[in-house]
Amino acid sequence: MERRSVSRMDSRDAYMTTWRKSSHSGSGTSECVEVARLPEAIAVRDSKAPGAGCLELSPRAFAALLGQLRNDQPFV
């Protein structure tokens, strides 16, 4: 799987980026992620620690990740 980078977006970039919380993230759960579309990647971050950085994936790698998660397959 192609992975781009783990990055720390500066506060201005993170503020100006539109983040969407996963529909599977609900109240009372500790597993919450947010995603954002960047010009050449999809960013994923922990919604409880947005300042901790994000994982940037190519659109192809993000689609592969979602496919594995939907099929309940281990991610390697």
Radius of gyration of the chain (CA): 13
pLDDT score for 5: 46
- What is the token pair recorded at 19? 């983040």
* pLDDT for 1: 45
**Taking phi first (over 0 means left), then psi (-120 to 50 degrees means alpha), and beta for anything else, what does residue 56 get?**
beta
Q: What is the dihedral of CA 26, 61, 39, 12, to 10 degrees?
A: 50
Cβ-based neighbours of 8, under 8 Å, separated by 6 or more:
51, 52, 53, 54
13: nearest Cα among 58, 34, 43? 43
**The pLDDT value given to residue 76:** 59
pTM of the model: 0.67
Task: Quote the pLDDT of residue 61.
Answer: 94
List of the chain residues with pLDDT < 50? 1-6, 11-12
- pLDDT at residue number 60: 94
Identify the pLDDT of residue 2. 47
